[in-house]
Amino acid sequence: MIIKPLYLVYTMAAICDIWTSCLHIIKDEVGSRVVETWFKAVSLVEWDSVGRVVYLCAPNAFVRDWICNNYMQLLQTHLCRLLHVEQLKIICSTPDKKSSAPTHDGPIVAVPFESSVVGSDLPIPPVRSYGHVNKNYSFDTFIVGPSNSLSYAAAQAVTQRPGTLYNPLFIYGGSGLGKTHLLHAIGNEMKKKHANTVILYQPADRFVSEFIHAIRFDKIHKFQAKYQAVDVLLIDDIQFISNKEQTQEAFFHIFNTLYNAHKQIVFSSDIVPSDMSGIAERLRSRLACGLVTDIHAPRLETKVAILKKKADMSNSDLPDEVAHFIASRVISNIRELEGALIRVLAFGSLTHQAVTLDLAKKILCYVESEKRMGVDFDRVVTILSKYYPYDLGALRAKNRSKDVALARHIAMYFMKKLTDKSLREIGQFLGGRNHATVMHALGKIEEQIKVDSQFQAHLEHIESSIML
């Protein structure tokens, strides 16, 4: 039987090693993002082996309270094991505030997010009134059609009565359909009508990075003040805050502050709020509490109009027959549509050839064949597994549950559309199914696309990922 000493004496180097080991364990248990966001800014400053008290130092009260409320039991479990004691007390403080810090033995009350700004001596940093808004995107350069008319009208309306009409405005649709264009157009129009308005366009992934940086380097006050000073907040791709609990908490309070002050908020996303997974219910309800509009794939006429407009803006001549050919060949993603136009116009200009139908066919057919050569069955399954929780084994199995069957049907749809393989080859790859089964799957997907614009946008988003 091994008898452990009542306490061990540790050098500062040993204490640092123990804290590093603790962080490695926490990383394995709750993930690297939690460690990077919260624990990398915290240090173990003292271990009182007689009183069995661990003293931690957090950069600010916000980090301290979040750790005390969410990770204190985790810290206690692993520090006890690493320090060879059965129980200990943890005091987490901020610089020069050791005595007043909350500990694990008493009730811990979180400080509201907004309250840390109140009474702060830090000056509110000025926000660039035109931060990140692209001046090239305006309502005048946005082509309106049946697929986007409601979103376009709503975007224009919020510039007339910001903060009171359609607040928040939530625009959703597939990738490359014009959501970002509308957000920038709102910013440009608001600046034109209200010169002193503070406008901020921010992609959600940049918001997440900025929040993490603020916590790590003790700039949370400046972070809060920056967003609370905004008059018009334009958040692009809001779905990227899914499964980021701490970021959602911060954004929830920013939203409440701006909304209660009647500041205009506009979101874009590739899915409707009700279908966003990994989002706290209270935040999801706020995303959908205003007007929710969608943008779906443009029809042929709208695509032709977009091509003609883009050609005019570049002072290029685009014959109608060429515009119709490009519009009919390219996927409904507007970015790809513009990319196809640029390839045709650039090739004609660089080789000093007139832009004709034959030239367009030559260029685009070659590009499409190159793309198709880079797509195989494994590529389709790999990308699809990022959207549906099923691997190749699940798709090949005899499981006929609704969710697995849908994923299998979508896989068949893309395998037929994006490769040159036969129905028989597709069926054999997916568990030895016959060509009739594959035909049935293709028919079901095509029928759903016709009646469900959101499903169509979802497939376009997946297809764009496969073709990257």
Last residue of a domain, one of 56, 88, 105: 105
Residue 232: CATH number of its domain: 3.40.50.300
Same domain, 277 and 336: no
Same domain, 88 and 183: no
How many angstroms separate the Cα of 107 from the Cα of each of 69, 101, 440?
9, 12, 60
Could you tell me which residue, 231 or 123, shows the higher pLDDT? 231
Taking only the tens place, the pLDDT of each residue in 317-375 is 889 898 888 888 766 578 778 888 888 888 888 888 888 888 888 877 755 554 555 57
Q: Is residue 100 part of a domain?
A: yes
Same domain, 399 and 412: yes
Say what the pLDDT of residue 96 is.
Answer: 57
Domain housing 351: 300-366
Q: Which of 35, 129, 119 is nearest to 78 (CA)?
A: 35
Q: Is residue 119 part of a domain?
A: no
Say what the pLDDT of residue 331 is.
Answer: 60
SS (H, E, C) the chain: CCCCCCCCCCCHHHHHHHHHHHHHHHHHHHCHHHHHHHHCCCEEEEEECCCCEEEEECCCHHHHHHHHHHCHHHHHHHHHHHHCCCCCEEEEECCCCHHHCCECCCCCCCCCHHHHCCCCCCCCCCCCCEECCCCCCCCCCCCCCCCCHHHHHHHHHHHHCCCCCCCCEEEEECCCCCHHHHHHHHHHHHHHHCCCCCEEEEEHHHHHHHHHHHHHCCCHHHHHHHHHCCCEEEEECHHHHCCCHHHHHHHHHHHHHHHHCCCEEEEEECCCHHHCCCCCHHHHHHHCCCEEEEECCCCHHHHHHHHHHHHHHCCCCCCHHHHHHHHHHCCCCHHHHHHHHHHHHHHHHHCCCCCCHHHHHHHHHHHHHHHHHCCCHHHHHHHHCCCCCCCHHHHHCCCCCHHHHHHHHHHHHHHHHHCCCCHHHHHHHCCCCCHHHHHHHHHHHHHHHHHCHHHHHHHHHHHHHHHC
Taking only the tens place, the pLDDT of each residue in 220-273 is 888 888 898 899 999 999 988 888 888 888 899 899 999 999 999 999 998 888
Residue 53: CATH number of its domain: 3.30.300.180
Last residue of a domain, one of 232, 266, 295: 295
Distance CA 220, CA 208 (A): 13
Q: Is residue 117 part of a domain?
A: no
Say what the pLDDT of residue 230 is.
Answer: 92
Res 387 pLDDT > 80: yes
Same domain, 72 and 26: yes
Q: Is residue 401 part of a domain?
A: yes
Distance CA 57, CA 96 (A): 9
Same domain, 336 and 408: no
Q: Is residue 120 part of a domain?
A: no
pLDDT band (50, 70, 90) for residue 468: low
Q: Is residue 171 part of a domain?
A: yes
Same domain, 148 and 287: yes
Same domain, 430 and 357: no
The contacts found for 64-70 with CB under 8 angstroms, 24 or more apart, are 64/92, 64/93, 64/94, 64/101, 64/102, 65/102, 65/108, 65/110, 65/111, 66/38, 66/110, 66/246, 67/38, 67/39, 67/42, 67/92, 68/92, 68/102, 68/103, 68/104, 68/108, 69/108, 69/110
Q: Which of 279, 280, 276, 224 is nearest to 253 (CA)?
A: 224
Cα distance from N-terminal residue to C-terminal residue, the chain: 62
Same domain, 26 and 76: yes
Same domain, 287 and 140: yes
Q: Is residue 2 part of a domain?
A: no
Last residue of a domain, one of 337, 366, 395: 366
Q: How far is CA 268 from the centre of its chain?
A: 10
Res 102 pLDDT > 80: no
Question: Taking the CB of residue 446, how many other CB atoms lie within 10 A of it?
Answer: 10
Same domain, 422 and 343: no
Taking only the tens place, the pLDDT of each residue in 389-427 is 888 888 998 887 888 999 999 999 999 888 878 888 899
* Residue-averaged pLDDT of the chain: 81
Could you tell me which residue, 367 or 102, shows the higher pLDDT? 367
Same domain, 407 and 288: no
Say what the pLDDT of residue 111 is.
Answer: 31
Residue type, 38: W
Same domain, 205 and 288: yes
Number of separate domains in the chain:
4
Res 108 pLDDT > 70: no
pLDDT band (50, 70, 90) for residue 10: low
Residue 315: CATH number of its domain: 1.10.8.60
Q: What percent of the chain has pLDDT over 90?
A: 17
Q: How far is CA 83 from the centre of its chain?
A: 40
Q: Is residue 5 part of a domain?
A: no
pTM, 2 dp: 0.57
Res 169 pLDDT > 90: yes
Residue 449: CATH number of its domain: 1.10.1750.10
Q: Stretch 47-67: mean pLDDT, rounded?
A: 83
